[in-house]
Each structure stands twice: as C-alpha cells, then as structure tokens.
Amino acid sequence: MPELPEAETIVRGLRRTVPGERIRGVDVPHPDVLRASPRAFAARVRGRRIEGVGRRGKNVLLLLDGGRVIAVNLGMTGTLLRFREVPRGGAVPTHPAVRFRFRSGGVLVFDDQRRFGTVEVLEADAWTERQARMGPEPLEDAFTGEGLFRALRASVSPVRSWLLDQRRIAGVGNIYASEALHLAGIHPARRARTVTRREAVRLHEAIRSVLQAAIDHGGTTIRDYRNADGEAGGYGRRLHVYGREGEPCPACGTELRRTVISNRSAYYCPTCQPRRGGGRRP
C-alpha cells in the first residue's frame, strides 16, 4: 500500500510538469473511485488551472485556482502517471480509473488496479476541516518525541495499530511502522501506553529516519507501486523486517517472525523486539 514516502515521491515527480496545466476535460472509466458523479466532478474541475501539487499524509493534492483541491487517496494500488499526450493502444497505464486531459495535450492518469483509492474535489474550507482531523506530519517539526510519548500514554491499543491510525500520525502505514518499530526495538503488539519515554524518543527518531530514507530511494515497490514516471521504488531491498518472515534479522541473526494484529500482518525480531520491552536497539 502506498504510504507517505510513495505519495511524496509521486508529488515530487508531478511538481516538475503539472503546475500551470489547465484541465480541459475528465474521463472516468471507473466512477467508483469518485465521491461524486462523473458529471458533477468534471464540472467542478473543468477549466481550472493547477497551481501546485502537495501532500497530506498518504494523499496527493492538486491545488487548483479558486482554492479548490483535488484530493487523491492512493488506496492500495493507486498511482498518478503523467504523460505528454494521451496514451494509446497498449501504453501504460494498465488500469486507468480517472484521466485528466490538459489543454496542452498532456494527460494525468489515476491508475488503480484494485480501485480502493479515491478521487474527490473539495472547496478550501472543506479541505481545511478534513485535514484538521489528521495527525501531525511525522517529518515536520510539530512531531516531537515528547509529544509522541504523551499521545502513546493515552492509548491501550497495540503500538503498531496506533501508528497506523491516521488521526494519530499522518502517512505511516504497515511497511514503515514495522520498520520503525524494529529500529526502535519495540514489539509491535505491545500496548501503546507501556512505551517508555526513552523508547518513544527512539521510536520518534526511527519513524523520521525510515520515512526519509524511503523518500530518498523513491519509495517501496512490493508489487504495484510506481512513481509519476512509471518507475518502481528502490527502497524495497533495504527493508529490514517487512515481508521477511523466516529470514535472519539483519541486526542479530535471529529468525524474523510474522504476527497478525487487527487482521494485518506485522513483522518483527523476537530478540531485538521482546514482547515485554527491554530489547536491544538494532
């Protein structure tokens, strides 16, 4: 599933070519990704100029003139692909859900194989209200180790589940939660409120470190993720625990394990991340 690094990589790619484009029309092969009818959606974005491209959590934002925002949640398999002209024949994308046609002749395609992603247009006030319900951006200064500690102390949820809650932290998903918890030496099933201040500071550092490294390498491609140029991310081969059940821990050599928390897999090292705490930091 695309997370913060994948969304950020897409945003950086789109910023090179999309700002300044004016939307001539919209094609919607799969209207189930929209939060409005195709006709209503097209009417609200047609003729609008894209003034910028941004990100909030896992959402890619197309900032339109007049204050409107097209918010694209990538879901599990979504990406945004930019073409100089409308792809024809067997050209990628393979699962187009929404196509934005520009007056320049170019096109921006939301491609989503499983179609769990969403595309919607919001007025400025509505977007401000929406993002206010999301947690802090983990790479910004407002996200601190002390703040993380205090927030964790108020919850009895497993710490991995806590990290996946977008109301707590915006943009962290299963891949980078597993990686950060391993780096911090914290078992994913521990209750959030059992994390000590020192561990919270380590976790804060680990989250920021892992996310930044993933951005630097263009995100993680497990199966479907591609950036705005259609290229795979390069961070997958640098993952320490995610998807590596049965392999040796890169820190201590112990066989890595998988557990299921809230119907989702979590990966960890039983030596570096003991259930009761006290693990050594990888």
pLDDT in tens, 27-64: 999 999 999 999 999 999 999 999 999 999 999 999 99
Nearest CA to 69 among 83, 78, 59, 82? Answer: 59
Q: Report yes or no: 4 and 172 within 8 Å, Cβ to Cβ.
A: yes
Catalytic, out of 44, 56, 58, 160 = 58
Catalytic, out of 3, 6, 8, 199 = 3
Domain boundaries, the chain: 4-132, 145-268
Q: Where are the alpha helices (DSSP H) in 47-194?
A: 124-132, 145-153, 159-164, 174-184
What pLDDT was estimated at residue 1?
77
Q: Report yes or no: 234 and 225 within 8 Å, Cβ to Cβ.
A: no
The SS3 of residue 203 is helix
Tokens read off for 142:
């407002």
What pLDDT was estimated at residue 85?
64
Query: Taking 70 as the threshold, does the pLDDT of residue 92 lie above it?
Result: no
Query: Does 51 participate in catalysis according to the annotation?
Result: no
Catalytic, out of 16, 238, 264, 275 = 264
Query: Taking 80 as the threshold, does the pLDDT of residue 89 lie above it?
Result: no
Task: Report the predicted TM-score, pTM, of the whole model to 2 decimal places.
Answer: 0.93
Query: Taking 60 as the threshold, does the pLDDT of residue 90 lie above it?
Result: no
Amino acid at 217: H
Query: Does 3 participate in catalysis according to the annotation?
Result: yes
Query: Does 58 participate in catalysis according to the annotation?
Result: yes
145-268 maps to CATH 1.10.8.50: yes
pLDDT in tens, 193-244: 999 999 999 999 999 999 999 999 999 998 889 999 889 999 999 999 999 9
Helix, strand, coil tally for the chain in percent (to 5): 30, 25, 45
CATH superfamily ID and name for 4-132: MutM-like, N-terminal (3.20.190.10)
